Amino acid sequence: MRSRFPRLFSHALATVLTVIVSGYALPASAASGTPRTTVPLPELTALKTQLDRLAEQGKAGNAQYWYINAAEGKVRIAVLKGPLDVTTRSFLTAGPSDLTSTFTVDEPVRPYVSTATAPLRPPMTGSAALAETVYGGQQIVTQSGVYCTTGFNVTRNGQPAVLTAGHCRKAGITWGLAGQLLGRITDFHYPGGDISYITPATGWQHPSAVRQADGSIQPITRFGRPSINQELCKTGATTGTTCGTVVSLDVTTNYGDGPVYGLALTTVQAAEGDSGGSVYEGSTGVALISGGPEGGGDALVYPLP
């Protein structure tokens, strides 16, 4: 069963932003030639919602992601470099030209799953050896060798769960860690959101902690939400532990499977295989790695519900 709450949370976040900034005057110039003196945030929110609905209908073309830039008073749209096709051009001109700004990106934005060159093929039956421990930031694999990364260990409905990215569910239900059966995805949300819940097999220890690239253990004592300019670190199976800052919130991404809402754009570096990896500020868990430019780069992260 797919969880609906991440989508609802992204809508709630947009509402909160509207409440906070409504009435804030944003400079802009009108396409008609008549200067605008203000651009109310609800107008920008309505335009972004319109773009989201077009993406749901498969009409985003080569637009990669979009978000509201309140300081600029526009909805910013990242477009894949190259000639504009009819669908993309229609998407970019869906709203008033003075309310949008576009910029090009060299690589398509993709979910950060990967396939190991020498995959660890875990047993798909049985349970983990006693005292095996799963941390956030570890490589998990399917029997076919597709791999993602563990995010955080949580308790959900009174039962333990290991978080990873929602799109990892496309690669398989059953996942292994270090040659052992880790467990099976029993709930997920993708597209729309990007989170999966793995129910661990019997025998796993699952502390609330991340194993960083240098082997150190970072305890996670609470969970929070990302904020603009916040400094974050992540640990992923491919690129290890890297840090950066939050650039934008409430980003909608066009991965091609349907839009994913409520992402945060960061300067944290990640790449294929880091999907689901832990994103945190000290002992506070914040998000999961979702995707970014093909080949690696600035990561889009999915805030924890």
- Distance (Å) of CA 154 to CA 2, 160, 220: 18, 6, 10
Annotated active-site residue 11? The verdict is no
List the structure tokens of 199. 């129910």
List the structure tokens of 178. 């270090």
Which one is catalytic: 10, 167, 196, 274?
167
Residue with tokens 């916040």: 230
Give bridge partners of residue 101 from the DSSP assignment.
76
Which distant-in-sequence residues (6+ apart) come within 8 Å of 258 by Cβ?
55, 56, 191, 192
Which one is catalytic: 52, 194, 250, 274?
194
Q: Which of 225, 168, 210 is nearest to 10 (CA)?
A: 225
Which one is catalytic: 196, 248, 275, 278?
275
List the structure tokens of 146. 């597709």
Annotated active-site residue 214? The verdict is no
Give the separation between CA 235 and CA 150, rounded to whole angstroms: 9
Annotated active-site residue 194? The verdict is yes
Q: Quick one: residue 240, left, alpha or beta (phi over 0 = left, psi -120 to 50 = alpha)?
A: left
Catalytic residues: 167, 194, 275
